Amino acid sequence: MRRTGEEGIRVARSRKVTVSTDAEGHTAGWAETDLAPVTAPDPTAAAFFDVDNTMMQGASIYWFARGLASRNYFTTADLARFAWQQLRFRLLAREHAGDMSLAKEAALAFVEGWRVDDVERLAEEIFDEMMAPRIWAGTHQLAQRHLEAGQRVWLVSAAPVEIGRVIAARLGLTGAIGTVAEVVDGAYTGRLVGDLMHGPAKAEAVTQLAAVEGLDLSRCAAYSDSANDLPLLSAVGRAVAVNPDGNLLRQARQHGWEVRDFRTGRRAVKIAVPSTAAAGLVAGAVTAGLALQRRRRAG
């Protein structure tokens, strides 16, 4: 079994992405890994972990962009604009949380024309180089406890589900729920299937998965750093605020939810810079997409 630079992070082969649509037309996508259970299975309980700033320091899509920049897919200036636009759109998302039409149209522009296999290969390489050292050991340990109890553990991320699946496989988890990108003949079209995996969409996706997998949500747990995930945290029997933002911390105290904070001092400030919400993915993805297209034409 191959290991990454962080001890205990395991590798698994992927399974195909499953797409489900409920009676109200909500679409969710999930991809499982091929990891064997570590103990007798607990079929009705599971844990759901947000990725950005919950499982990982910073944003997975940011580190993916950093990895692409290091491979000369776009420039350092493009990356700087990417980071700035993430922060800008995070603020706008708080003010205009219901207006996601532009986000939906533009979120996956950066993978248009890419082969799915190539994106997964790059995601594996970039995880090993840039993401593995930024996994919160404490959060990973929380996930491991669920696995040891025979429960399935899913990541829930706004990133494309294939990237989430790679992260889940590297961490030895069950699978990932993420944004579904349309694929034609093995390549991304740049369009979405359904909505961004953000806010209420996460709760809807988890509810769909629970129906398919026979989970009892009252026996399930959810972990997040952001008040954007209040619908997800409210959908399960046990909610845990991990490295919470101010709004989530207040909500956690009001509801009596458990709080885990693995940040310390200046390090917490440093890793907060490349943070993201689903809408934060948008402008950065567009910037990266345009840069990639320019480099392809130049090539």
Give the residue numbers marked as catalytic. Answer: 50, 52
| Lookup: tokens for 183 | 């694929």
* Coil, strand or helix at 190: strand
- DSSP letter (8 states) at residue 56: B
Dump strand ranges (E) for 87-174: 152-160
How many whole angstroms separate alpha carbon 277 and alpha carbon 103?
A: 11
Contact between 206 and 177 (Cβ < 8 Å): yes
Provide the β-strand partners of residue 153.
47
How buried is residue 286: exposed, middle or buried, by Cβ count under 10 Å (0-12/13-18/19+)?
buried
Residues 172/174/177/178 CA torsion (nearest 10 deg): 30
Closest CA to 62 of 193, 163, 165, 168: 163
State the amino acid at position 74 in one-letter form. F
H-run or E-run covering 39: none
Q: How far is CA 35 from the centre of its chain?
A: 19
Report the C-alpha gap between 80 and 62 in whole angstroms.
10
Q: How far is CA 145 from CA 35, 138, 195, 238, 244, in A?
A: 16, 11, 31, 14, 21
Token pair for 255:
């509801």
